[in-house]
Amino acid sequence: MAIISFRSDEIHCKIVYYGPGRGGKTTNLMTIHKALGEHVRGELLSIDTAGDRTLFFDFLPMDLGKIGKFRIKISLYTVPGQVRYNDTRKLVLKGVDGIVFVSDSLEARRNNNIESLQNLEDNLREQGKSISSMPIVLQYNKRDLAGSKVAVIPLEEMEKDLNPQGAYPSFAASALRGDGVKETFKKICILTVVDVSTRLLKNKGLTATR
């Protein structure tokens, strides 16, 4: 849930990159952090676990306007992908305002994608939230491997597995090359800010400005 800071006149929104292990969440955040100007981004921090990491940083987007007198500040997080760190996933999800689900296009990881999305639904439900009411963007990562020697899931099959109703925006991507990372990031920022604005305007009587 977005937090209003009256001391700094900021509204803090939280976006979490979720998905199976080694799917590209960390690469997404590192690419985004590098692309943002130093004047708007905070330090990229890492909480290391055995063989997995949680990354996070804050930034002030310059083109998403304000809500009343409040500037928008966004925190980006990744969750650890390994199942044994589910308690950490739950902790990172607390107060989430928007989610990017980063899936792995490798055929060998197909079940991991499905299980991870179900895990996301379960963890949100445990916190009294519904995945259907959250701003969510799907990213189909590692599309650069199509045509290589490894088997890659066709995009239409990934849609059937993860987005059968077409309810969520989705982007083909290669986080390693940077393809689709910006588009995914921009979309979730817009969806999250619109959703947070709508809720705050309704509850607080604020006015959105650009």
**What six digits make up the tokens of 178?**
């940077």
pLDDT on residue 104: 98
Range of the domain at 148: 3-209
- pTM for this structure? 0.92
- Angle at which helices 181-204 and 25-35 pack, to 10 degrees? 80
Report H helices in the chain. 25-35, 86-93, 110-126, 155-162, 181-204
pLDDT on residue 62: 67
How many whole angstroms separate alpha carbon 142 and alpha carbon 163?
A: 18
Residues 30-54: what's their mean pLDDT? 84
**β pairing state of 52-59 and 45-49:** antiparallel
Element (H, E) at 66: strand 66-67
53-98 pLDDT per residue, tens: 788 888 888 667 778 888 899 999 999 877 778 988 999 999 999 9
How many whole angstroms separate alpha carbon 149 and alpha carbon 7?
A: 55
**Whole-number mean pLDDT of the chain?**
90
More confident: 205 or 5: 5
How many whole angstroms separate alpha carbon 95 and alpha carbon 8?
A: 19
**What six digits make up the tokens of 195?**
């959703």
List the one residue out of 154, 126, 147, 173 whose CA is nearest residue 19. 173
DSSP, residue by residue, 13-62: EEEEEE-STTSSHHHHHHHHHHHS-TTTB---EEEEETTEEEEEEEE--S
CA within 13 Å, CB half, 12: 13
Residues 173-180: what's their mean pLDDT? 96
Residue 22 belongs to a domain with what CATH number? 3.40.50.300
pLDDT on residue 5: 87
How many whole angstroms separate alpha carbon 103 and alpha carbon 17?
A: 10
In the chain, the number of structural domains is 1
